[in-house]
Amino acid sequence: MNKIIPQFFTMVVPLGESGLRFFEQIFGVTSLFFQALYELRKIWFYRRQVVEQCYSVGVGSIGLILVVSAFTGMVTAVQAAYQMEPYYPKYTVGALILQSVVLELGPVLTALVLAGRVGAGTAAEIGTMKVSEQVDALESLALNPVGYLAMPRLIAGFVMIPALTIISDTVAVIAGYTVAINTIDMTALEFVKGMRMYFHLHDVIVGMMKAFCFGGMITLIGTYMGLTAKNGAKGVGTATTLSVVTSAVLILILDYVVAQVFL
Partner 1 sequence: MITFDHVYKRFNGNVVFNDLVFDVPDGITTVLLGPSGTGKSVFLKMIIGLISPDYGYVWIDDRNIVNLKTKYLYRIREQFGFVFQLSALFDSMSIYENIALPLKMHTQFNEESIYSKVNECLSLVDLEDAGHLYPEELSGGMKKRAAIARALVRDPKYILYDEPTTGLDPRTAAKIENLIIKVQQERKVTSVVVTHDLTSARRVGQYVALLTGGRIAIEGSPEELDESANQELRRFLNEIPQNESLL
Residue 164 contacts residue 110 (beta carbons within 8 Å):
yes
In whole angstroms, give the CA distance from residue 5 to residue 1.
Answer: 6
Which of 4, 5, 142, 201 touches partner 1 by CB under 8 A? 142
Q: Is 24 in the site for partner 1 (CB under 8 A)?
A: no
Quick one: 17 or 139, whose CB is closer to partner 1?
A: 139
Output the CA torsion sign for 122, 124, 127, 131. Answer: negative
Residue 84 contacts residue 92 (beta carbons within 8 Å):
yes
Which of 125, 169, 190, 255 touches partner 1 by CB under 8 A? 125
Q: Is 182 in the site for partner 1 (CB under 8 A)?
A: no
Q: Which stretch binds partner 1 (CB under 8 A): 6-14, 84-92, 132-140, 246-254?
A: 132-140
Amino acid at 125: E
In whole angstroms, give the CA distance from residue 6 to residue 110.
Answer: 48
In whole angstroms, give the CA distance from residue 169 to residue 72.
Answer: 10
Q: Is 261 in the site for partner 1 (CB under 8 A)?
A: no
The residue count for binding partner 1 (CB under 8 A) is 16
Shortest Cβ distance from residue 141 to partner 1 (Å)?
5
Q: Which stretch binds partner 1 (CB under 8 A): 11-19, 129-137, 177-185, 210-218?
A: 129-137
Q: Which stretch binds partner 1 (CB under 8 A): 64-72, 138-146, 161-169, 173-181?
A: 138-146
Shortest Cβ distance from residue 164 to partner 1 (Å)?
23
Show Cβ contacts of residue 252 under 8 Å, excluding neighbours closer than 6 positions.
108
Show Cβ contacts of residue 242 under 8 Å, excluding neighbours closer than 6 positions.
123, 225
Interaction residues for partner 1, span 208-237 (CB under 8 A)? none
Shortest Cβ distance from residue 16 to partner 1 (Å)?
19
N-terminal to C-terminal alpha carbon distance within the chain: 54
Q: Is 44 in the site for partner 1 (CB under 8 A)?
A: no
Shortest Cβ distance from residue 107 to partner 1 (Å)?
30
For residue 92, give Cα distances in angstroms to 86, 97, 99, 110. Answer: 12, 9, 10, 24
Q: By the criterion CB under 8 A, which residues form the site for partner 1?
A: 45, 48, 125, 128-129, 132-134, 136-137, 139-144
